Amino acid sequence: MTDNLQDVISPKLAAAIANPLFPAVDSQLRSGKHISTEQLDNHAFLLDFQTELDLFYRRYNVELIRAPEGFFYLRPKATTLIARSVLTELEMLVGKVLCYLYLSPERLAQQGIFSTQEVYDELLNLADEGKLLKAVNQRSSGSDLDKQKLAEKVRAAIGRLRRLGMIYTVGEPNSGKFTISESVFRFGAEVRAGDDPIEAQLRLIRDGEAATPQSLQAEKAALQRDTESSENETDVEDEFVEEEQE
């Protein structure tokens, strides 16, 4: 039995699973959390065992991805054995705004600290308010109540992105202050093409490309070409930021 086990699990994978950090890191990844360099020990653990753990997770039809910015996350395939859910269009758009703020000069000027109100104000500044209100309520008349509901949805979106490891709370839990992780580049794949990153991010937000079916379909197609084997090229993978749950 020991020989059979060694055939399945390499010594290095066995060492990874036996590591005290593995249970917490595994749980975070399965819940959809992104692990960036801010989490020094967990990130170093994934760097040390990246190859072995990627093979381990492929048994569940998911991939352990290390993004160009260095953060790790699990990306499920269509046949994933790990439960998942996708972000809403508004949550994705808030993520795009966070990516823009991460690239902005204000990040250095403010020591990297932003507030929920700043995200909301920037969202209204960069995107069409009417479309945002319609995303919350198709019958929106632009009333104060509709705007209040939008603000609540934005706060909820920020809360979910916090759980995914995109931002980190600063000070009291309810302070509304946070720093932005490089993990927000999960929303900014388009800015890696070589254009000025801030201008590219602004264009995406203003044009609404972050939330249109056409852009999402294009992202899915690009993901297929880059990551799917030839026998799975007909499967369309979600390019939404996905939250895997145990």
Q: How far is CA 124 from CA 65, 97, 99, in A?
A: 32, 10, 15
Tally of domains in the chain: 2
Q: Are residues 77 and 109 in the same domain?
A: no
95 and 186 inside one domain: yes
Q: Are residues 95 and 72 in the same domain?
A: no
Within this chain, do residues 93 and 208 fall inside the same structural domain, yes or no? yes
Instruction: Mark whether 226 and 240 lie in a shared domain.
Output: yes
Residues comprising the chain, all counted: 246
**Do 122 and 232 fall within a single domain?**
no
pTM over 0.75: no
Per the structure, the complete domain to which residue 196 belongs is given by 88-213
CATH for 227 = 1.10.10.2250
CATH code where residue 147 lies = 1.10.10.2260
Q: In 3D, which of 44, 22, 35 has the Cα closest to residue 71?
A: 35
pLDDT at 66: 96
- Same domain for 102 and 6: no
Note whether 95 and 187 are within 8 A (CB): yes
In this structure, are 70 and 95 located in the same domain?
no
pLDDT score recorded for residue 230: 46
The pLDDT, as a whole number, for residue 194 is 56
Same domain, 93 and 209: yes
**The tokens 């929106």 sit on which residue?**
140
Q: List the chain pLDDT tens, one digit each, 246 residues.
A: 444 555 578 999 999 999 999 999 999 999 999 999 999 999 999 999 999 999 999 999 999 999 999 999 999 888 888 888 788 888 988 998 999 899 888 888 888 999 999 999 999 988 888 888 877 777 777 788 888 899 999 999 999 999 999 999 998 888 889 999 999 998 876 655 555 666 766 666 665 444 334 444 454 455 556 555 544 544 444 444 455 544
What's the CA dihedral at 31, 183, 188, 85 to 10 degrees? 10
- Residues 66-69: contacts with CB under 8 Å, at least 24 apart: 67/183, 67/185, 67/186, 68/185, 68/192, 69/36, 69/182, 69/183, 69/185
Q: What pLDDT, on a 0 to 100 scale, did the predictor assign at position 170?
A: 93
